[in-house]
Amino acid sequence: MKFETIIYRKTDQYAEIRFNRPHRLNAVIETFYHEMLKALADAEQDPDVRAVLLTGEGRAFCVGADMKEHGSGDRTLNQRREYLNLGNDVCEKIFRLQIPVVAAINGYALGAGAEMACCCDFVLMAESAKIGFPEISIGTCVGGGVTQFLPRLVGLAKARELIFTGIKIDGTEAARIGMATRAVSDDALQSEAEKFISLLAIKAPISMSMAKRLLNNASYQSLEDQIKLEIDSVFICSTTADWQEGVNAFAEKRSPQFNGC
């Protein structure tokens, strides 16, 4: 699949989506959102893809909306609404994707870039990378579900501070407060992200999908309902060939080879 604004490649059981507008620090436009939705759908539907890695080409992960296009004033009110819906659709797709999504933040992740990162299952950041929400500082507001996702990661008080002030924090601080899974040296980011996602890619796909859905929806459920959903998930897993493979591999003291069925 060829795209204008992203690079999409599959390797070793995972797909990498690399934002590819380095001349604009990977600022987003409508075409980017359309292509992201296509690439994410392709990854989810491909049985050989067990996880997705998001990262940026050049010096940034994504600096948010392309203000040059916004400043042109060419969009009608309906077009503005459609653009906003597209951004939210991408964030929701990342969050609800049946396979895990890992963000490798290599530079600035601002606005829409930070919002997409918050929707991922894991965030690895270069120590010098910066993440922040400048929306209120420029007269707009955060989107992409970040007002729900960010407090889950860092707590309500810290989420207020980050969103209200628009301060940018580096990878080390993001990891300290729980916004990032971990911070790594700038030079090691890509290799560490590939190692991390490879660990996810060898796990049982059905089990992974169910665990992701359970975790994502846990805050909406009562404990009683959540336990019932967990029991249902365990039961369904026990009917799969991958479950039997896991049992056999444990008994035979070898690594399991899961096929997603």
Positions marked catalytic:
115, 135
- Dihedrals phi, psi of 54, to nearest 5 degrees: -110, 130
Alpha carbon distance 193, 53 (integer Å): 8
Beta strands in 71-210 (DSSP E): 101-105, 108-110, 122-126, 130-132, 169-170, 182-184
SS3 at position 160 = helix
**Which bin fits 38, alpha (ψ -120 to 50), beta or left (φ > 0)?**
alpha
Evaluate whether 55 touches 104 at the Cβ level (below 8 Å): yes
